[in-house]
Amino acid sequence: MSDTHDKTQTLQTAISDHVPDGASIAFGGMGGRDPEAAAREIIRQEKTGLRVVDDARTTLFDAMVGAGCVDEYVGSWVGTSLISQGHNVRRAVEEGVPKDLTMQDVSNFGSSLMFFAGAMNVPFVPTRSMLGTDIAEHNDDIEVIDDPFGSGEPLAAVPAATPDVAIIHVQQADRHGNAHIYGNTVNDHLKVRAADTTIITCEEIVPSETIAESPELTKIPFYTVDSVVEVPFGSHPWHCYGHYYADLPFYREYGLRSQDYDEFQDWLDEWIVPHEEYLEKVGADRLARLEELEQTINGGKL
């Protein structure tokens, strides 16, 4: 059981301690607050046989697939908007490069229900979502059942997601694991309750008194958290609301270079480095411009 002791670790140690080969993982964020630095560290440590159970995943998942870390994906969507169409994911599914990737589809709502069931510690939740599609036909884990109360209408039983590890990036956390999320929470509050272990990466570690000043923002409580890691710009190249905007030129470069597998390998050699070195390579001036752009867009307020 997680408690109120000091849970701070380095990123390298957190991934080494809590993400074994073959683990099932849920990542936080969606179109922002994605734990990109944690995913790069997973690649750097050459983790293998991973099962990613998620909602929608973008660059971090595509890079992990291209690096050969992932064997299976359960979720609703993968890709990276119009800048990169998930070239590594497509190669793995269609060509088995670098190895085969198994995909299990659920709807967007269905993926939320997986974590809802896991957070409640029930085996499944019923829904009408997906009954108008062929998802249940192709995903053997989704059962179509009769309404037990006799309405005569079928329901889709969505199984609970209980990942081994949830990795969530937030704006602020204290050393015990109480975490503030500004902006869209997505399914992160459910993922940490469904997972066996939770790693929180954050833009900054703050005193518990700071967390207590805004209890309504504490979307993740200490008792769900096992590790806290301070990782400034931990979502780069995605944005982190209140801190920095998305690095669209970086995305474009990733999209272009990941189209070819050999070129993607060169990208890995260049960018899969310890996070401090990564930030040095991105450049202080570039990061400052991303902060300025976020301040301009949001008026400097979290």
| Residue range 163-187, pLDDT digits in tens | 999 999 999 999 999 999 999 999 9
DSSP state of 216: G
pTM of the predicted model over 0.85: yes
With a pLDDT cut of 90, the percent of the chain lying above it is 88
> What is the residue type of 182?
Y
| 12, pLDDT greater than 50 | yes
pLDDT at 81: 57
The pLDDT tens digits of the residues spanning 23-60 come to: 999 999 988 999 999 999 999 999 999 999 999 888 99
Whole-number Å distance between alpha carbons of 211 and 216: 9
Whole-number Å distance between alpha carbons of 16 and 43: 11
- The candidate with the shortest Cα–Cα distance to 274, out of 96, 7, 15, is 15
Mean pLDDT rounded to a whole number for the chain = 94
With a pLDDT cut of 70, the percent of the chain lying above it is 96
Q: Are strands 24-27 and 50-53 parallel, antiparallel or unpaired?
A: parallel
Q: Are strands 70-75 and 102-105 parallel, antiparallel or unpaired?
A: parallel
pLDDT band at residue 109 under the 50/70/90 scheme: very high
Write down all domains in the chain, each with its CATH number in brackets.
Answer: 11-105+162-298 (3.40.1080.10)
The pLDDT tens digits of the residues spanning 129-155 come to: 899 899 999 999 999 999 999 888 999
pLDDT at 116: 98
b/e 125-152 (16+ beta carbons within 10 angstroms → b):
bbbebbeeeebbeebeebeeeeeeeeee
pLDDT at 1: 44
DSSP state of 197: E
Instruction: Specify burial of residue 171 (Cβ count, 10 A radius: 0-12, 13-18, 19+).
Output: buried
Locate all alpha helices (DSSP H) within the chain, ordered by sequence.
11-18, 36-44, 59-66, 87-95, 108-120, 135-138, 188-194, 208-213, 248-257, 261-271, 275-282, 284-298
Structure tokens at 127: 């829904």
